[in-house]
Amino acid sequence: MAQDSSIDSILLADCGTVMTKVVLLDRVGGQYRFVARGEALTTAEYPWSDVTAGVRHAVEQITNVTGREFFSSTGDLLAANMQGADVFAATTSASPPLEVVLGGLVRDLSVASAERAAAGTYSQVKAIIASDGRGGLTEEERVNTIHKAAPDVICIAGGLENGATRPVLEIVETAALACSLMEESKRPRILYAGNSQLRQKVVDIVKGQAELRVADNVRPTLAEENLFNVQEELDEFYRQNKMTQLPGLDALEAWSPTALTPTARAFSRIVQYLWHLGDPSSGVLGVDVGAANTTIAAAFDGHPFLTVHGDLGVTFGGERLLQEQGFETLARWIPEPLTEDEMHGLLINKELHPVSIPQEPGGVWLEQALAREAIRGALEVARPGWRPGAAQPYPHLMPLCDTIIVSGGALVNTPRPGQIALTVLDALQPIGVSTLVLDKYGLASALGSVAAVKPLAAVEALDSGGFVNLATVVSPVGRARPGDTILRVKITYDDGSGFSVEVQYGNIEVLPLLPGQQAVLELRPTGRHRFDVGLGGPGKGGKRRVNGGIAGLIIDARGRPLRLASDPEERQVQTRQWLWDVGG
């Protein structure tokens, strides 16, 4: 492959659970630009059983557009001087997840921290063993639980530094016993991330029963959480033992000068990049809703926070969500009547035909409802682990996020931009002023992977047409009666024209501001209600230069947290109105 200085063309692939996307970046006029993309089914299963087939199918589409060949007749990736590309890099989320059993002392402390650590990679928590009495399992039941779960890793947290010892060791003993009952080749690895003073004792207990790894205590004090080390261990284990199960991975890696990156990790990298480019006092958030996983990547104060909600995307996990959380969880977001049986059927049929798309409105609403719940579920795990500092004016609400990247086929392929915006607003409920950026071509994770090879390409390609402004959103925080005027908004376009509107509580206002257009937005909260629009605190207004988007400029005055009508019919009227407001 080419030296860094001579890298002109870059081919990037992302092998997702269902779809494989490939994009071509090329240096045009001295700057990296998005040139073309292709998309095909992921081919990890029969009849292909080789993910490189899906990459080739997607590349065929790029060849059709550009006339450029990327593969030799023998199937090798061509270097750029023979057409092809200088560099190839790939990400994937198609491998099976790391199956984890979590052990710890207190469900809401060490176990919750271990759960967040596991969510830093593609994982599935098969069982939780906590000592704080909830569940009240005997040792035999615990051994049975581990035995049945047959995990890849048993991650044991618990015990503050200088804290409890005996209950932690009991969990280690249980884990070791469960391992000893398994066939040697199938024994899980034990990852100990608890009280560091017990390490030697843990080594003695586990010796000969399982492979042991030790990480920093995830919960060294009540107030402190330290996920980095254990996340690294789990991520490494995932890369070595699960990613490699993807058929054709060897060939894919042989094309690339860098190791294959998990999609979520690459996505997190680009979110962190964007934080460095923006306002450091607020955060940057990335939401990627895929077929089987939902990823939330955040950056605050320069620190990345990554959460992968495994096994819940818009294709896989819907039926389980319906069983576990009930019909209303999804039905509340659907603007027209849908029976539980209809919903159940649609969810299962989608899993049976994962690549299929809805051709009727009911299916669209259901997929968007699922996307909302997938994001909400991921947020629930992610938020307690964030350290947003000054970006968090209200502890019970979202922190201030300057930019929100919206990615993943499930959202991006939504028929109308307003529907995408509404899905994201309902699920995230941002506050203050945020720009929603749509990752239209699924470039975000690919750019995260190229950042390791050619950082400049990642930065330049961000502005080259692959990302599209979806909307600038203003979400005031405060309380009022529905219909009360809470905000006066004046918009002044660059040509000097403009207008003013009064915004009533409970409504969504969409003001015209096209992509590429800029305007000065003047926000004046009305005296009595003193809403906070993110410009310095409650009641404070000001001016801000904002960018347009394909869904316009949205003032979301529905309040935070969002309140849905309890009566199903009223709620359908409410959600229909909101959809109408955003042009959905």
Partner 1 sequence: MYYPFETQVAPLINVRRERMLPSPGEVTVRIGERVDPMQVVAQANLPGDFRVLSVAHLLGISDAKIKNYMRVKVGESVRRGQILAKRRSRVVKSPIAGVLASSGGGRVLVEAPPTPFELRAYIQGSVTNVLQGRGVVIETTGAVIQGVWGAGGESFGVLKKLVKSPDKPLRARDIDPSCHGTIVIGGSGFNAAVLERAQELQVRGIVTGSLPPELIPEVRRSPIPIIITEGIGAFPMSEPFFQLLATNDGREASISGKIKSRWGVVRPEIIIVLPAESLPSTQAQPGMPLTVGARVRAVRAPYLGQVGTVVTLVDHPRHIETDAKVRGAEVDIGQREPVFIPLMNLEALR
Kindly list the residues in this chain that would bind partner 1 in the complex (CB under 8 A): 17, 40-41, 43-48, 53-54, 57, 60-61, 95-96, 138-140, 143, 173, 177, 180-183, 245, 292, 316, 341-342, 344-345, 348-349, 351-361, 363-364, 413-416
CA–CA separation, 118 vs 290, rounded Å?
Answer: 19
Nearer to partner 1, 254 or 355 (CB): 355
Output the smallest distance, CB 163 to partner 1, in A. Answer: 21
Output the smallest distance, CB 170 to partner 1, in A. Answer: 8
CA–CA separation, 121 vs 93, rounded Å?
Answer: 10
Contact 14, 4 (CB under 8 A): no
Nearer to partner 1, 21 or 529 (CB): 21
Nearer to partner 1, 413 or 507 (CB): 413
DSSP state of 532: B
The amino acid at residue 478 is G
Number of CB atoms found within 10 A of residue 257's CB: 15
Reference 579, options 367, 408, 336; nearest CA is 336
Reference 487, options 389, 554, 565, 582; nearest CA is 554
Nearer to partner 1, 37 or 57 (CB): 57
Output the smallest distance, CB 1 to partner 1, in A. Answer: 28
Output the smallest distance, CB 45 to partner 1, in A. Answer: 5
Output the smallest distance, CB 176 to partner 1, in A. Answer: 9
Q: What secondary structure does DSSP assign to 10-34, as a single string? A: EEEEEE-SSEEEEEEEEEETTEEEE
Cβ-proximal residues to 137 (8 Å cutoff; 6+ apart), any chain: 129, 145
Nearer to partner 1, 183 or 495 (CB): 183
Output the smallest distance, CB 352 to partner 1, in A. Answer: 5
Q: Is 316 in a helix, a strand, or coil? A: coil
Output the smallest distance, CB 19 to partner 1, in A. Answer: 9
Nearer to partner 1, 202 or 555 (CB): 202
DSSP state of 187: P
CA–CA separation, 207 vs 348, rounded Å?
Answer: 45
CA–CA separation, 512 vs 550, rounded Å?
Answer: 9
Measured at the CA of 265, the angle between CA 304 and CA 561, to 5 degrees, comes to 55
CA–CA separation, 233 vs 416, rounded Å?
Answer: 41
CA–CA separation, 117 vs 234, rounded Å?
Answer: 8
Q: For residue 160, give both structure tokens.
A: 């503050």
Cβ-proximal residues to 559 (8 Å cutoff; 6+ apart), any chain: 477, 478, 479, 480, 505, 506
Nearer to partner 1, 99 or 402 (CB): 99
CA-based torsion, 31, 36, 39, 45: positive or negative: negative
Output the smallest distance, CB 469 to partner 1, in A. Answer: 20
Residue 77, beta-bridge partner list: 71
Output the smallest distance, CB 354 to partner 1, in A. Answer: 8
Question: For 349, phi and psi rounded to 5 degrees?
Answer: -60, -35
Nearer to partner 1, 96 or 515 (CB): 96
Nearer to partner 1, 337 or 537 (CB): 337
Nearer to partner 1, 94 or 433 (CB): 94
Output the smallest distance, CB 365 to partner 1, in A. Answer: 10
Q: Is 157 in a helix, a strand, or coil? A: strand
Reference 431, options 387, 386, 397; nearest CA is 397
Q: For residue 92, give both structure tokens.
A: 């994937």
**Secondary structure percentages of the chain, helix, strand, coil, to 5:** 35, 25, 35
Contact 489, 508 (CB under 8 A): no
Q: What secondary structure does DSSP assign to 80-148, as a single string? A: GGGSS-SEEEEEE--SPPEEEEEEES-TTTHHHHHHHHHTTSSEEEEEEEESSSTT---HHHHHHHHHH
Nearer to partner 1, 256 or 293 (CB): 293
Output the smallest distance, CB 32 to partner 1, in A. Answer: 27
Nearer to partner 1, 183 or 569 (CB): 183
State the virtual CA torsion across 93, 99, 102, 107 in degrees, nearest 10. 60
Nearer to partner 1, 304 or 418 (CB): 418
CA–CA separation, 521 vs 293, rounded Å?
Answer: 37
Strands 283-289 and 401-407, by their bridges, are parallel
Output the smallest distance, CB 46 to partner 1, in A. Answer: 7
Nearer to partner 1, 50 or 532 (CB): 50
CA–CA separation, 215 vs 199, rounded Å?
Answer: 10
Output the smallest distance, CB 459 to partner 1, in A. Answer: 30
Output the smallest distance, CB 411 to partner 1, in A. Answer: 13
